[in-house]
Amino acid sequence: MQKVYILLTESLKNREKQGLLRKLYPIKERRGCKIIVNNKEYIDFSSNDYLGLSNHPQIINAAKEAVNRYGTGACASRLLSGSFEIHHKLEEEVARFKQKEKALIFNSGYQANLGILSALLSRDDCVFSDRLNHASIIDGIILSQAKIIRFKHNDTDNLKSLLEKQRKKYKKALIITETIFSMDGDRAPLKELIELKKRYDCIIMVDEAHATGIFGENGSGIVEQEGISDEIDIIMGTFSKALGCFGAYCTSDKKMIEYLINTARSFIYSTSLPPAVIASNLKAIEIIRNEKFRRETLLKNSEFFKDNLKDLGLKVRGSSQIIPLIIGDNNKTIKIAARLQRQGYFVLPIRYPTVPKNESRLRFSMTFNHSKEVIINLLDSLRKFV
């Protein structure tokens, strides 16, 4: 065997020994909150289809109409002939939705964070990044070569002391946080972060991947709910979670968006999203504005689930539709997840290094399609297993 393959095999064996070997589960079918895997039906608690929009008939129709009109692919990058009018229409709609001057579409949230951060920063700059920020944020910072300074999760005192010590050593400085954290389901102290960004001459960027569609009067996110869109320099988010579609956006002022069009390499050097995906995203925003009952029901049911878990004496976190049940030990978490799977619940154990050591958890991703009855049955199972 070639040396490289010997090393790969060793690495995979080590992962397996530590219970860290990742696997793919081929899903045969998805209906509402149910999925079929290996011919067994599960209730899915691991998808980000928070509002159940991935199967919304109006969105499906919008996609079909766009396929009929434009074909399947965009067939070029945005700066060549892949910039259809519908891409521009979505950008105008997203800018309105997020109450910012301009928007730019990226092909995924991962590519958005990579592109924005690497375009904006260089080795003379630094980024103050919440310790629990998503891997795409970390990878974007690494690519930019800026100094990464991680502050304790949601700890503005810790951030302040780091700013005090470090800010003046660098040219530009960015503070970056998720608004709703993907693994903990809690929210960032945005108003305090804005105070600090002003005081220490930084810019601030937020990732609304898990907040878009769920919070705020129009469902645009936490920034809308807190009425601070003017104070956040860059807001990114995805169409791939509550909107049930695909892709991502960045909103900011006109100058910043023009700069990104010219410099963000993940935007420039990739074929643009197919028009049918863009049409779905547009329709999803319209539905989020019009079908407020989806987010209201989701948040009410999430609260119900969390309160009941607490009543069972369990350790839960979060203030959103993402509910982590902290188990702690890796093996115990794997065992409970396996027992739940045998009962027909698709819940996956989240372990180190995705979350800190000794904080292994079951992450319940609640969706509009989980009825009260489903939640009550799940609570019954958890009562026996945990």
Residue 68 CB, nearest approach to ligand PMP (Å): 26
DSSP 77: B
Least distance from C-beta 262 to ligand PMP, angstroms? 23
SS3 29: strand
How far, in Å, CA of 113 to CA of 266, rounded? 9
Active site residue 241: yes
The angle, 0 to 180 degrees and rounded to 10, between the axes of the packed helices 85-97 and 275-290 is: 30
- List the beta bridge partners of residue 301: none
* 210 in active site: yes
Query: Residue 108 or 369: which CB sits closer to ligand PMP?
Result: 108
**Minimum distance from CB of 350 to ligand PMP (Å)?**
12
Rg, the chain, Cα only: 21
Q: Output the CA angle 291-294-299, nearest 5 degrees.
A: 140
CA 228: distance to chain centroid?
20
Least Å from the CB of residue 381 to ligand PMP: 26
Contact residues toward ligand PMP (CB under 6 A) are: 108-110, 113, 134, 136, 178, 182, 207, 209, 238, 240, 248
Distance in angstroms (rounded) separating the CA atoms of residues 59 and 250 = 22
Instruction: Note if 233 is an active site residue.
Output: no
Residue whose CB is less far from ligand PMP, 144 or 200 = 144
* Residue found by looking up tokens 């601070």 in the block: 228
**Sheet strands (E) in 14-80:** 27-31, 34-37, 40-44
Between strands 34-37 and 40-44, the pairing is antiparallel
Catalytic residue among 44, 91, 130, 178: 178
Find the residue with minimal CB distance to ligand PMP. 109
Known active-site residue 46: no
Which CB atom, from 108 or from 144, has the smaller least distance to ligand PMP?
A: 108
Q: Which of 107, 129, 133, 182 is catalytic?
A: 182
> Beta 345-346 vs 322-328: how paired, if at all?
unpaired
Q: Which of 210, 283, 306, 370 is catalytic?
A: 210
Based on CB atoms, which residue is closest to ligand PMP, 288 or 374? 288
Catalytic residue (one of 241, 283, 306, 370): 241
Give the Cα separation of 110 and 115 in Å (integer): 9
CB of 200 or CB of 249, closer to ligand PMP: 249
360 is catalytic: no
| Min CB(270)–ligand PMP separation in Å | 13
Q: Phi and psi of 368, rounded to 5°?
A: -55, -30
> What amino acid positions are annotated as catalytic residues?
48, 134, 178, 182, 207, 210, 241
